[in-house]
Structure 1
Amino acid sequence: MARTRGRPALADRAQIDEAAAELFLEQGYEATSVDDIARRAGVARSSFFNRAASKAELLWTSVDHWLGVAEGELLGGSGVEETVLERIASLCDRIPDEDKPWAIVHRDAMGTRDALLAGVGPRLARYEQLLVRLFGGTSTANTTRAQVLMAVVATRLAGERWVSGNGVPLGVHLREVCRELGLADLGGTTGG
C-alpha cells in the first residue's frame, strides 16, 4: 500500500501558520524562508501565496482575525449602553488563550522582535481607526485623539500582561489596566 508523506497538498492557513511557528522556533524567523514553510506545510510555494501575502503576515494571524471580529461586531452596536472600553473588554473576554499571538509570546526564541516592530504599524492604524469610530469623533478632534491614545495605551498594557500571563482573559486585564489608569468612564457610552 502506498504511503503518503507530509501534510495534505491543500493545506489550509492554520497548517501553514503551524508550520511557520514550528520552523521559527527551530531555526529562527530570519533563517526560515517561505520555501521552508511551504515544504513543512506540504504545499507548493504558489499555494503558500494563495493563503498568505508574506512570511511576515503569518506573525499577525490571530491579531488580524480579532481586529476583523472587532470591526464587525463593535461597529454594529451592542444594543446595550456601555463604555467603549467595556465593549472592547467584553469582546476580549472571548479571545481564547490559544489565540495568543505565538510570534509575540515566543518573540525571543523565534527572533521575531524586529519583524513584529515592522508590522505593528498597519494593525495599530486599523485599531486606532476603529476606536475613532467607536468614540464617535474625528481623528483630528482633540478629545477623540486623547481618548484613542489612552485606549491604545490601556490595550497595549493589557495585551502584554495577557501574553505573559497565566490564563487570565485579556478582557480582565484590560478592565484592570483601565482601573489603574483611571479610565473607567473613558468615552461615555455607545449603544445600538
Structure 2
Amino acid sequence: MIRPARGVGRPRVSSRETIAEAACELFLEQGYERTSIADIAQRAGVSRSSFFNYFTSKSNVLWSGLDERIDAAVQALAEPGTGADPARIEAVLAAVLQGLEPDPLALAFGNATAMGLHEELQHESALRQGRLAAALSEAAREAGVERIRADVLGAAYAVVVLSSLRVWAEGGAGHGSPLAQLRHALPRITDLHWG
C-alpha cells in the first residue's frame, strides 16, 4: 500500500496560531517580561527561525492582527474623497473592529495584570493610536478641515477605536463585540462631528 507523502513540521496556517497560543500561555504563567522568544518557540514546538517567519518580535505576537487592520484603514483613509464623507470615515473605523475574533491582543487586554503587560499595552496602544490619528487627520485636512480641528478629530476618533477594543476585551468576549463598543462610543464625540 502506498501512502501519500506527509509534509514535515506543522502546517503553515496553524503555526502562527500555535505560536500565538504558546506565547499567551507563557505570558500568563511567567509574565511578559520573563518570557523570551526562545521560550515561546520551545513551547510551540517550532524553531526560533520559524517564530520569525510569522512575527517580528515578542510584541508583534500581540499586535499583528490589529496592525493588519490598521494598515488597511490607513490605506482606505488615503483614498481621494474619503475625508469628505463622515459615513465613509465611520465605515473605515468599523472595519478595523468588525468581526474581530478574540485573539492574543484581546487576551492581553483582558489579563494585563496577570501577564504584566500594563506598560507594554499602554506604549504600543499609543503607537497605533498615533498612526491611526495621523491618517484620520490627513483625511480631514484633504477635505478642507483646518489643521488643529483635523488633528483633534483624528485623535478623538483614533482613541474611540482603541478604547472600544480595550473596553470590550476587559469586559470579556461574552459582552458584545468591539464593533458594538465602537458604535456605542462614537455618539459620545458628536460635538466633534466630522463635517
After TM superposition, the score normalised by the length of structure 1 is 0.76
Structure 2 counterpart of 1:170: 178
What is the Cα deviation at residue 161 of structure 1? 2.4
For 1:62 and 1:101, how far apart are their aligned partners in 2? 10
Matches within 5 A, 1:1-192: 8=10, 12-76=15-79, 82-92=86-96, 94-99=98-103, 101-137=106-142, 141-165=147-171, 166-183=174-191, 186-188=193-195
Higher helix share: 2
Give the CA RMSD over aligned residues.
Answer: 3.2
* CA contact 1:162–1:169 (8 Å) conserved in 2: yes
Instruction: Describe the superposition over 1:124-171 as per-residue Cα deviations: whole angstroms up to 9, x where unpaired.
Output: 232122212332449981121121122123224323322223432222
Q: Is the 8 A contact 1:84 1:135 kept in 2?
A: no
Report the residue type matching 2:168 in the other structure.
Answer: W
Letter in 1 for 2:140: F
Shift of 1:39: 0.7
Query: 1:9-57 deviations in whole A, cap 9, x for unaligned?
Result: 8663222111101111122112211111001111111221232221122
- Relative distance call for 1:77 and 1:93 in structure 2 (3 A) is farther
Q: 1:161, 1:78 → 2: CA distance?
A: 31
Number of aligned residue pairs: give it: 181
C-alpha distance in 2, partners of 1:14/1:110? 19
Q: Which amino acid aligns with 1:32?
A: T
Amino acid at match of 1:148: G
5+ unaligned residues in a row in structure 1: which ranges? 1-6
Provide the identity percentage.
Answer: 29
Gapped regions of structure 2 (runs ≥ 5):
1-8
Other-structure match for 1:3: none
Letter of the 1:155 counterpart: V
CA displacement 1:69-115 (0-9 Å, x = unmatched): 32344544799x54355224532562334245322222111111122
Aligned residue for 1:62, secondary structure, equals: helix
